[in-house]
Amino acid sequence: MNPRRVAAVARRIAEGFRRDRRSLALLVVAPLVIVALLGWVLRDQKSTVVDLAVVNEAGAIGSRITDALTTATANAPNGVSLVETDESEAVARDRIRNGQIDLALVLPSTLLSDVAAGHQPTLTVITAGTDPAAEGGAFASLQSVLGTVASTIAPPGSAPIIPKIEHQTVYLSPDADQVDVLAPVFLGLFAYFFVFILTGISFLRERVGGTLERLLATPVTRAEIVLGYAIGFSVFATLQVLILLGYVLGRIDVPTIGPVGAFTIGLGVQSAGNPAIAFLVALLMAVGAVNLGIYLSTFARTELQVLQFIPIVIVPQGLLGGIFWPIDRLPDILQAIAHVLPVTYAVDALREVMLKGGDLGSSAVQTDLLVLAGIAVLFVLLGAFTIKREVA
Amino acid sequence: MNARAAVGFEPAVEAIGLRKHFGPIHAVDGIDLAFTPGRIYGLLGPNGSGKTTLIRLLAGLARPSGGEARILGLTMPDRPTLGKVGYMPQAEALYPDLSVGENIGFFAALQGVRGSAAIDRSLDLVELGSRKGAPVLELSGGMRRRLSLAVTLVHEPPVLFLDEPTVGVDPALRVQFWGHFRKLADAGTTILVASHVMDEADRCDELVFVRAGRVIARGTGADLRSTAGTDNLETAFLRFAGLDDAGRPLDAGRGPDPEAAP
Ligand SMILES: Nc1ncnc2c1ncn2[C@@H]1O[C@H](COP(=O)(O)OP(=O)(O)O)[C@@H](O)[C@H]1O
Ligand SMILES: [Mg+2]
């Protein structure tokens, strides 16, 4: 161990950083930006009021409960606000489907007879079922409101009757967990992420290694290069998405074999939708990512610098794209940013399709696909323009 | 002097007042050339004299800051014309993880070459026919140079730009290369070979000496030697560059007349 040689190696690294100021800056700035963004997103999330609708099938007693609920939720002290009464459960479900309300409370026609007979009555609470964490919170708030209501309507001197609550969902099932709702939407991000990195590095090598110059010394056109790249990478993005989709949706239970205990392969995620559309979304993302990779690779001199685009290009999309928390809860500025990120549209489309069973006829899916296609075209133009600039 | 009138042909390659500036660096600083079809031209000059930049301009890989480059009468950059050009870059410019056959097959496809006959012929010429399946990663530097040449020749272009083609190639194969270049030229191919060493200069029909982005002399090897009054091309170059035999600047005005008669 010769300290001079160790020092020489260490100095070489330091000199590399001195020449590569951008890496140095990124080393400091990137984590700050990410942590700051995360703090902003988590601290400044808009506190949302849960919009509740009551469906009264219980007649007079139901009206009394509804009135008590109206009083108890005035100014939404528990974060629950009674916004309407619907004439039937079907109407309430439609309102949830359209995003007009978050929760529906159904007071059943058997309510009075159950109470009279001394049974614990059962109320039904309906949620969308696409965001188990948030809905769990809303559900708990409603429960505490119902506790208050039960004690206000109980005759003086008698113990309040606490009803049983049955949870139903419009989409998926009430026992769906975070994995069921998160796994499908990750598809969009993965295709984007890997294709972007791989194209960025490939294209950088193409330029640094001189093969791009050799390419440009043939009659091949920019459009041909960009399209060829997109097709070439899309084949592998396809493979990736297919395997991932299979793993997310499928489930194989492997029995105990010898010393190996039983285990399962695949997540067996509940899904309502058509995987073909999910696939289309991932493919559009991949085409966009190929060209973004080509474009951004011109701003990198080394492979390390391509990887540095991860905290700039990928991480914010992961945080703001609506994967972990709904976009409408982000601070306004971040919402505006979220609306120009391709991942946002991919996540929305995947959620529509995989969780809500939307198909190509759904206007939400159509909008998302159109926007994604538009972004892909924009990036293709950027990519093609980039290659033109190579002839400087 | 009107080059066209002098040679009586439409030149295969033409530079007209060609310039390329990179900020303060005048890599190509006003060059006029006209190459007759079927001849081999040697572009000679030290490192950094602008040879590569000139070739890139001629091949339409860079936009001139001034002037014009023409190939077969068409102003470059012009994509379709590139089908008639073979460009061997100074850099390796091969895909290291692909095999010899895959590399040449790719560029052959871009040039519209069909079938494997042309590919095999080109590989045999550089004696790589038996290494078709080997990844470029496993080739020696000289072998890569040979593959690079094979890729450049595969579509049998009428105009060839070779940027230091024989660097790292052993002497026996070098002789073979030059034999082949001569055969191509006899069949009508116009060839420009850039080099910073003079030892291959006498295999060219005509030499162009460049220094600091300018042509300092041109003519046949014999003409240049006699004009400079020396038997040694290297010494001739130094004299045209206004340097003494050790490479030090001479007093102004003592260099020989740079317009050597062709
Ligand atoms: N892309 C570029 N950007 C800036 N300077 C360049 C570029 N390409 C070449 N040069 C400069 O132009 C001059 C000529 O370079 P080059 O044509 O490669 O010379 P040669 O091939 O004769 O060695 C050199 O000073 C080189 O540094
Ligand atoms: Mg050079």
Distance (Å, rounded) from C-alpha A346 to C-alpha A54?
34
Query: Whose CA is closest to A282, among A358, A178, A378, A193?
Result: A193
| pLDDT, mean of residues A125-154 | 81
What letter represents residue B24's amino acid? P
Q: What is the CA(B195)–ligand 1 centre distance, in A?
A: 14
How many other CB atoms are found less than 10 A from the CB of residue B109? 14
Per-residue confidence at A288, pLDDT binned at 50, 70, 90?
A: confident
Cross-chain residue pair A218–B82, CB shorter than 8 Å: yes
Task: Report DSSP state, residue A311.
Answer: I
Interface of A with B in 209-228 (CB under 8 A): 209-211, 213-221
Question: What is the pLDDT at residue B163?
Answer: 92
Ligand 1 atom with the smallest distance to the CA of B210 is 22
C-beta B152 within 6 A of ligand 1:
no
Question: What is the pLDDT at residue B251?
Answer: 56
Cross-chain residue pair B107–A214, CB shorter than 8 Å: yes
Instruction: For ligand 1, atom 18, name the residue with the nearest CA.
Output: B52
| pLDDT, mean of residues A262-281 | 76
Question: What is the pLDDT at residue B259?
Answer: 47
CA distance A392 to chain B (A): 5
Distance (Å, rounded) from C-alpha A125 to C-alpha A319?
31
Q: What is the CA(B208)–ligand 1 centre distance, in A?
A: 18
**Residues of B in Cβ contact (< 8 Å) with A215:** 110
Quote the tokens at residue B230: 């020396």
CA atoms in the 13 A half-sphere facing the CB of B7 = 16
Query: Whose CA is closest to A390, among A229, A233, A234, A215?
Result: A215
Question: What is the pLDDT at residue A270?
Answer: 67
Question: What is the pLDDT at residue B9?
Answer: 63
**Residues of B in Cβ contact (< 8 Å) with A210:** 89, 91-93
**Residues of B in Cβ contact (< 8 Å) with A218:** 82-83, 107, 110-111
SS (H, E, C) A118-187: CCCCEEEEEECCCCHHHHHHHHHHHHHHHHHHHHHHCCCCCCCCCCEEEEEECCCCCCCCHHHHHHHHHH
Interface contacts A/B by beta carbons within 8 Å: 54
End-to-end Cα, chain A, rounded Å: 49
Q: What is the CA(A39)–ligand 1 centre distance, in A?
A: 48
Please state the length of chain B: 262
A55 contacts A88 by C-beta, under 8 angstroms: yes
Distance (Å, rounded) from C-alpha A73 to C-alpha A65?
12
Cross-chain residue pair B151–A392, CB shorter than 8 Å: no
Distance (Å, rounded) from C-alpha B230 to C-alpha A376?
65
CA atoms in the 13 A half-sphere facing the CB of B66 = 11
Residue with token string 């769906």: A176
| pLDDT, mean of residues A231-237 | 83
For chain A, state the CA radius of gyration: 27
CA distance B104 to chain A (A): 12
B150 contacts B88 by C-beta, under 8 angstroms: no
A50 burial (CB, 10 Å; 0-12 / 13-18 / 19+) is buried
Query: Domain extents for chain A?
Result: 50-169, 177-391
Instruction: For ligand 1, atom 25, name the residue with the nearest CA.
Output: B48
CATH 3.30.930.10 assigned to domain B3-84+158-217? The reply is: no
Q: Give tens-digit pLDDT for A81-124.
A: 888 888 888 888 888 888 888 888 898 888 888 878 878 888 88
Per-residue confidence at A392, pLDDT binned at 50, 70, 90?
A: low
Question: What is the pLDDT at residue B247?
Answer: 67
CA distance A12 to chain B (A): 26
Ligand nearest to the CA of B89: 2
**Structure ipTM:** 0.84
- Distances from the Cα of A97 to the Cαs of A102, A168, A179, A360, in angstroms? 9, 13, 21, 17
- Provide CB contacts within 8 A for A242, sequence distance 6+: A279
Ligand nearest to the CA of B43: 1
Residue A289 falls in which region: left (phi positive, over 0), alpha (psi -120 to 50) or beta: alpha
Distance (Å, rounded) from C-alpha B40 to C-alpha B205?
5
Count Cβ neighbours within 10 Å for each residue of B42-51 and write b for 16 or more, e otherwise.
bbbbeeebbb
Considering only the top CATH level, what class is A50-169? alpha beta
Query: Whose CA is closest to B132, among B118, B142, B147?
Result: B147
Q: Which residues surround ligand 2, an ion (CB under 5 A)?
A: B 51-52, 90
Concatenating the DSSP letter of every residue in B85-127 gives EEEE-SS--S-TTSBHHHHHHHHHHHTT--SSHHHHHHHHHTT
SS3 A262: coil
Residues belonging to chain B with any Cβ–Cβ distance to chain A shorter than 8 Å: 56, 59-63, 77, 79-80, 82-83, 85, 87, 89, 91-96, 107, 110-112, 151
Pairing of strands B159-163, A263-265: unpaired
A194 contacts A332 by C-beta, under 8 angstroms: no
**Residues of A in Cβ contact (< 8 Å) with B91:** 209-210, 213
Query: Domain extents for chain B?
Result: 3-84+158-217, 92-156
Sheet harboring A103-107: ordered strands across?
A80-86, A50-56, A103-107, A122-127, A164-169
Cross-chain residue pair B80–A219, CB shorter than 8 Å: yes
Q: Give tens-digit pLDDT for A22-54.
A: 778 888 888 888 888 888 888 877 777 788 888
Instruction: For ligand 1, atom 27, name the residue with the nearest CA.
Output: B48
Cross-chain residue pair A220–B62, CB shorter than 8 Å: no
Please give chain B's pLDDT, 262 residues, in tens: 444 444 456 888 899 999 999 889 888 898 899 998 999 999 988 888 899 999 999 998 888 998 899 998 888 888 888 889 999 998 889 999 999 999 999 999 999 888 888 899 999 888 888 898 899 999 988 889 889 999 999 999 999 999 988 887 788 888 888 888 998 899 889 999 998 877 788 888 998 988 888 888 888 878 878 887 788 777 777 777 777 777 676 654 444 444 444 4
Q: Which residue of B has its CA nearest to A208?
A: B93
A391 contacts B57 by C-beta, under 8 angstroms: no
Per-residue confidence at A250, pLDDT binned at 50, 70, 90?
A: confident
**Residues of A in Cβ contact (< 8 Å) with B77:** 391
Question: What is the pLDDT at residue B254?
Answer: 44
Query: Whose CA is closest to A295, among A320, A315, A313?
Result: A313
C-beta B27 within 6 A of ligand 1:
yes
Ligand 1 atom with the smallest distance to the CA of B20 is 12
pTM value is: 0.78
